[in-house]
Structure 1
Amino acid sequence: MELLENEQAPQIRSIWEEFHADKDDAVATTLGAEEFQALVRRAEAAPYFIFPVYRQEGFFNMLCQFQQSCFLVTYLEAFKENPSAAPPCVAVSLYDDLLDKKELTLVRADVINMLDKKESQLLLQQLLASYQDDKLYEHVDKFNNKPDQFDFEAYRSLLKDVLEPAAEA
């Protein structure tokens, strides 16, 4: 971190993302100060959510839980079987060491098991979008605070609409 403190935010962003680009077990991005603060505020208010991971012709679901500065992600079925013993598949850490001086937060998703790098990259995009995009966050909020109103298929449809234009850009 000390080495990064001497750099400007755009260079820090590049260094962080390039450092993780060739790693098979991690993906990374950065968030600005306002993005980070909004993400944490929303994650504290709605700490659980599910995300589809597409593989071949179908998908399976992952469950994330926000704790302090980390999202722990596990296989939903493992969580249903035994919540306290469900192994983490991905750990998304938010590093706010540079927040005060650079208005930048470093984000890293460590791939522990079950998912490959590409799936983990998409999962990280889904997670961030779901907590940052107002329409997607409505679904996260319902999942946590009004579960009887949560519609997973409506969320999946909206998620595709939000992420596909970003992928095409």
Structure 2
Amino acid sequence: LIVSLSLHVLGMFRHSSALHGFLKLPGRKSLDSIMKLPELEKLSSAQIMNIWMTHHENMIQYYGRVVSADAYRAMLPRFEQSPYFVVPIFRDTALFNVVTCYDRDLIGVTPLKVWQEKQDSADVHMTIQFFDELATRKGIVLVRAEIKDEIFKKSDCAFAVTMLMKYYSLPVKYEEWVKTFNVSPHNFDYHRFLRQMKDEAHHDNVQILDKKVERRG
């Protein structure tokens, strides 16, 4: 029974023509190009969520998540009004920053250094896409982060998606950080933001100095 069910679930996903071991280029996709939408529509929201999360669980290049349609509708105007944000990616005792840019249902993610050089023409190294095809009938929106190359790890995807959902969905965090970053960046307290994000990531081994503190040689 378990084997039969597993084969049935796998049958809902579209076959990929990508060579084994090679990453596919991230980009905007339709949900039906990933899964067989007519089959999904026969299932309950809980069943779809379980299939989506289980399917992405052991994949290196992808990270899957599900949000409620109401939560997505609340975030959508904020994404449109404040399309840019910055998220620190923590590694051992160091970190690097990435810039996120929203365009329709897709968020492009690129390292800050690359973005500073090329701005909106910078190469995208990770995408985060929202699939709202099931929002009306099932009340859920499927989310998928896709990695382009070795710059990002799957854990980076999980952290970036989690932080974006949190900072765009909670009004207080959106107003204080995201909106400020987009509307009045000169008022964005980067060092205080980093300390807060460090707490979110539970990385106590990363030292972040206050902007008023000078490094001594």
What TM-score do the two structures reach when normalised by structure 2?
A: 0.72
Structure 2 unaligned segments of length 5 or more: list them: 1-36, 203-217
Gap change, CA 1:163 and 1:136, over 3 Å in 2: farther
Structure 1 unaligned segments of length 5 or more: list them: 165-169
Residue 59 of structure 1 aligns to a residue in which SS? strand
Match of 1:52 in 2: 88
Within 1, Cα distance between the matches of 2:126 and 2:59? 14
- Superposition map of 1:2-21 within 5 A: 2-21=38-57
Asked if 2 retains the 8 angstrom alpha-carbon contact of 1:109 and 1:120, the reply is: yes
Residue 83 of structure 1 aligns to a residue in which SS? helix
The structure whose residues are more often strand, as a share, is 1
Asked if 2 retains the 8 angstrom alpha-carbon contact of 1:74 and 1:86, the reply is: yes
Deviation for aligned residue 1:136: 2.1
Please point out which of 105, 118, 121 is paired with 2:155.
Answer: 118
Deviation for aligned residue 1:161: 4.9
Within 1, Cα distance between the matches of 2:152 and 2:103? 21
Residue 140 of structure 1 aligns to a residue in which SS? helix
Match of 1:24 in 2: 60
Summarize deviations over 1:109-148 as a string: whole Å, max 9, x none: 0011210111111111111111112232120000001112
Aligned residues: 164
Deviation for aligned residue 1:41: 1.2
Root-mean-square deviation (Å): 1.5
Match of 1:148 in 2: 186
2:171 equivalent to 1:158: no
The list of structure 1 runs, each at least 4 consecutive aligned residues, that deviate by more than 4 angstroms after superposition, is 160-164
Q: Equivalent pairs: percent with the same residue?
A: 26
Within 2, Cα distance between the matches of 1:156 and 1:135? 17
Match of 1:132 in 2: 169
**Radius of gyration: which is bigger?**
2
The structure whose residues are more often helix, as a share, is 1
Match of 1:74 in 2: 110
Within 2, Cα distance between the matches of 1:3 and 1:64? 33
Asked if 1 retains the 8 angstrom alpha-carbon contact of 2:69 and 2:141, the reply is: yes
Within 1, Cα distance between the matches of 2:201 and 2:95? 16
